[in-house]
């Protein structure tokens, strides 16, 4: 059984959230945790369903070793709120949209990505879509920083879950 299921969310699921998925997937693979963590991304809007990440997001990601080419945009579904342990929004607007859709028993799962990088000096991952290429580089910088904090969080959660299972299994 997977220890932690994580959904990254932005507006259209073609820039920030697939980039977050790619960055974090690489980190959990490098940490040897791929079998214990399920990752996906989705948009709060259905603008780009079925589309690959924007080329302007894929190029800088590829230069850093993150392959986003196999990802396809999808919209957040109502089942996602039960399925995922963490649902991580890139900004306050998307977090607010998720809160409106989320059943009350799952509200505790909603977080901002930059919650995992408290020293970054910024609380959101800004949308680079209408800006220049440097915005996509900045997004990757922020996602790498926040993903390191998220990895530490997930390690602690998985360790606690393993410890609980071990304790529960003893008679």
Of the candidates 136, 150, 118, the one whose C-alpha atom is nearest the C-alpha of residue 27 is 150
Specify whether the CB–CB gap between 63 and 39 falls below 8 A.
no
The model scores a pTM over 0.85: yes
| Mean per-residue pLDDT, 25-33 | 96
Per-residue pLDDT of 107-156, as tens digits, reads: 999 999 999 999 999 999 999 988 776 999 999 999 999 999 999 999 99
Which residues are catalytic, by number? 10, 16, 127
Put the strands of the sheet holding 110-112 in their side by side order.
37-43, 4-10, 86-89, 110-112
The structural domains of the chain, ordered by start, are 4-164 (3.40.50.2300)
Per-residue pLDDT of 47-94, as tens digits, reads: 999 999 999 999 999 999 999 999 999 999 999 999 999 999 999 999
């Amino acid at each position: 059984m997977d220890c932690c299921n994580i959904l990254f969310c932005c507006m259209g699921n073609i820039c920030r959230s697939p980039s977050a998925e790619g960055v974090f997937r690489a980190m959990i693979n490098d940490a040897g945790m791929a079998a214990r963590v399920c990752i996906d991304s989705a948009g709060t809007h259905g603008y780009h369903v079925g589309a690959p990440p924007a080329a302007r997001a894929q190029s800088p990601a590829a230069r850093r070793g993150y392959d986003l080419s196999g990802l396809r945009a999808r919209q957040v579904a109502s089942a996602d709120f039960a399925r995922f342990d963490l649902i991580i929004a890139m900004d306050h607007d998307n977090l607010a949209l998720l809160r409106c859709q989320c059943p009350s028993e799952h509200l505790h799962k909603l977080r901002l990505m930059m919650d995992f990088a408290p020293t970054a000096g910024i609380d959101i991952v800004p949308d680079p879509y209408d800006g220049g290429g440097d915005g996509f580089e900045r997004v990757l910088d922020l996602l790498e920083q926040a993903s390191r904090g998220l990895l530490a969080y997930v390690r602690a959660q998985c360790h606690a879950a393993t410890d609980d299972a071990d304790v529960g299994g003893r008679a």
